[in-house]
């Protein structure tokens, strides 16, 4: 497939090509192919949906359209500025929410005039991140989960992810197993803890909510001027799930002292100041809706999602990098990047275990600080 030709064809579905100044790859996402289309006075984001990951792109677009409309209406109702409150889908000249080119699905958004970070050491930025993740929850509180299409089944079903890992180990299709024994052993030792959150969801002791499911830092849009977190982007995975995974996934990336693919594992530790800042922003915004059982599982959200990502990267390495596909460049420079990401995440799991008491203490102290009344909450 000729990428450039396909991009040109897609552009024609939305814009007058003679007005386009430049088109460039954009952002640091691992899943979709993202481009910025620049005009003299404005820019748009074009994205090809990854159909290995999202087998029903129409379902994905359906969810995004519902969610963004719901958020916009709610923000307008509250008399607030709706412009940067969520993603804004642009329709094709034929009035569709996506363009199909060579059988592949593309979509277009306005380019939010903000900034995303792959990492931060700034506690104020990460406090804002916590506030934005909490705010997203408030915005969608009241949106009925049954309206949404379940676009990736078992997305944060951690015990299922373990089963998938076992299947890949058994199949060993790329003969990579010999490189992964230590990691497999590490995960297997912790297998009894993988179902703590799914069990709580299944028994109803914590609610199934509409959640983002992919709250890593670069899916949060900040204002360029004052680092105010404006909104959550990358809404492909918004589905029914647990708030505690949204809390944990954000910490997994944002409170780590190293990037997700750092190979020097001595650099992978936790920045507790950032954990504190995020927790404060998150609990301040969610304190009126979060339940005591959810609060009691926040640490586990952080721990289990990190184990889950370790398993997902490892499974994909064993399978031959199908899900977290490698660019041509990465194939040359970092052919084992998914194994390295897995090792990185498992090191982080160890750090989370070693910091159990500190993280729990941060959550407890924050609850006191924000005046959360534990005794008034139903278990
Ligand atoms: P992926 O699913 O591959 O992670 P994202 O939707 O997160 O794709 O987009 C990748 C990156 O592109 C984001 O991290 C962000 O930097 C940028 N981006 C995506 N959508 C927009 C938008 N509407 N406005 C500005 N930047 C965007
Ligand atoms: C992917 O799409 P992106 O890059 O924001 C992945 C997440 C992982 C993350 C790891 C749909 O997120 O689940 O946590 O990579 N998204 C999907 O960096 O699988
Ligand atoms: Mg993303």
The half-sphere exposure of 181 on its side-chain side, counting CA atoms within 13 A, is 1
**DSSP per-residue letters across 179-248:** G-HHHHHHHHHTGGGTTHHHHHHHHTSS--EEE-S---GGGEEEETTT--EEEE--GGG-EEE-HHHHHH
Residues 97 and 227 in one domain: no
Are both 107 and 130 inside the same structural domain? no
**Each residue's pLDDT tens digit, 216-251:** 999 999 999 999 999 999 999 999 999 999 999 999
CA of 27 to the centre of ligand 2 (A): 13
Give yes or no for residue 29 CB within 6 A of ligand 2.
yes
Average pLDDT over residues 83-101: 96
Check whether residue 83 and residue 224 sit in a common domain: no
Q: Is 129 helix (H, G, I), strand (E, B) or coil?
A: helix
Assign 50 a pLDDT band (cuts: 50, 70, 90). Answer: very high
276 inside domain? yes
- Spatial separation of the C-alpha atoms in residues 102 and 10, rounded to whole Å: 10
Q: What is the pLDDT of residues 350-376, one digit of tens each?
A: 999 999 999 999 999 999 999 998 764
% of the chain exceeding 90 in pLDDT:
95
Confirm whether 296 is domain-assigned: yes
Q: How far apart are CA 215 and CA 130, in angstroms?
A: 10
Centre of ligand 2 to C-alpha 214, Å, is 6
- 374 alpha carbon – ligand 3 mean position (Å): 35
pLDDT of amino acid 1:
55
User: Is residue 292 domain-shared with residue 313, that is, in the same domain?
Assistant: yes
Check whether 99 has a pLDDT greater than 70.
yes
| Residue 179 is assigned to a structural domain of this protein | yes
What does pLDDT average to over the chain? 96
Tell me: the pLDDT tens digits for 121-148? Answer: 999 999 999 999 999 999 998 898 889 9
- Determine the pLDDT at residue 316: 98
Q: What is the pLDDT of residue 375?
A: 60
> Are residues 264 and 197 part of one domain?
yes
Q: Which of 62, 80, 112 is the last residue of a domain?
A: 112
| 182 & 321 share domain | yes
Domain CATH number, residue 69: 3.30.200.20
> In the prediction, which pLDDT does 3 show?
74
Q: For residue 108, how far is its CA from the centre of ligand 3 (angstroms)? A: 15
Q: What is the CATH number of the domain that holds 214?
A: 3.90.1200.10
Let me know whether 62 and 143 are in one domain.
no
Ligand 2 pocket mutation, candidates 26, 31, 260, criterion most atoms within 8 A of CB: 31
The answer to whether residues 157 and 135 belong to one domain is yes
Q: What SS3 state is found at 43?
A: strand
- Asked if 371 and 236 sit in the same domain, the reply is yes
Q: Are residues 139 and 36 in the same domain?
A: no
Same domain, yes or no: 128 and 188: yes
Ligand 1: nearest atom to the Cα of 116: 16
59: Cα within 13 Å, side-chain hemisphere:
15
Same domain, 36 and 169: no
101 Cα distance to chain centroid: 27
In a domain, 117, yes or no: no
Q: How far apart are CA 298 and CA 187, in angstroms?
A: 20
Is the Cβ–Cβ distance between 6 and 101 less than 8 Å? yes
Overall number of domains in the chain: 2
345 part of a folded domain:
yes
Q: What is the pLDDT of residue 308?
A: 98
Residue 26 lies in a domain: yes
Taking residue 253's Cβ as centre, other Cβ atoms within 10 Å add up to 22
Characterise 359 by phi-psi region: left (phi > 0), alpha (psi -120 to 50), beta (else): alpha
Average of pLDDT values for 159-179?
98
Q: Whose CA is nearest to atom 18 of ligand 1?
A: 27
Domain holding 264, by residue range, is 123-378
> For the chain, what is the radius of gyration of the CA atoms?
21
Q: Give pLDDT tens digits for 296-351.
A: 999 999 999 999 999 999 999 999 999 999 999 999 999 999 999 999 999 999 99
Average pLDDT over residues 162-180: 98
pLDDT band at 2 (very low <50, low <70, confident <90, very high): low
């Amino acid at each position: 497939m000729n990428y450039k030709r396909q991009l040109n064809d897609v552009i024609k579905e939305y814009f007058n090509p003679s007005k386009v100044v430049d088109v460039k790859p954009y952002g640091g996402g691992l899943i979709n192919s993202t481009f910025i289309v620049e005009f003299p006075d404005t820019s748009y984001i074009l994205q090809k949906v990854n159909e290995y990951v999202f087998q029903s792109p129409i379902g994905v677009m359906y969810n995004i359209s519902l969610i963004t409309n719901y958020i916009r209406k709610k923000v307008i109702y509250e008399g607030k500025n709706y412009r940067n409150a969520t993603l804004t889908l642009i329709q094709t000249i034929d009035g569709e929410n996506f363009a199909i080119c060579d059988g592949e699905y593309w979509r277009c958004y306005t380019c939010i005039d903000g900034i995303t970070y792959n990492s931060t050491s700034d506690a104020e930025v990460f406090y804002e991140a916590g506030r934005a993740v909490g705010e997203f929850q408030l915005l969608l509180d009241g949106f009925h989960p049954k309206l949404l299409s379940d676009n990736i089944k078992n997305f944060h079903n951690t015990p299922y992810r373990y089963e998938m890992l076992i299947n890949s180990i058994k199949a060993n299709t790329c003969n990579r197993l010999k490189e992964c024994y230590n990691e497999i052993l590490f995960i297997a030792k912790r297998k009894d803890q993988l179902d703590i959150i799914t069990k709580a969801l299944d028994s109803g002791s914590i609610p199934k909510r509409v959640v983002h499911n992919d709250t890593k830092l670069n899916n949060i849009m900040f204002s360029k001027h004052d680092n105010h977190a404006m909104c959550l982007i990358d809404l492909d995975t918004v589905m029914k799930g647990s708030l505690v995974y949204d809390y944990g996934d954000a910490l997994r990336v944002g409170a780590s002292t190293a990037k997700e693919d750092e190979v020097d594992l001595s650099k992978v530790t936790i920045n507790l100041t950032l954990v504190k800042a995020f927790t404060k922003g998150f609990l301040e915004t969610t304190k009126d809706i979060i339940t005591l059982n959810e609060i009691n599982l926040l640490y586990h959200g952080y721990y289990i999602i990190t184990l889950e990502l370790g398993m997902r990267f490892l499974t994909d390495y064993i399978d031959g990098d199908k899900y977290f596909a490698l660019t041509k460049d990465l194939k040359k420079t970092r052919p084992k990047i998914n194994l390295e990401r897995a090792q990185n995440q498992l090191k982080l799991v160890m750090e989370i275990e070693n910091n159990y008491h500190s993280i729990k203490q941060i959550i407890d102290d924050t609850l006191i600080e924000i005046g959360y009344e534990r005794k008034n909450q139903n278990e």
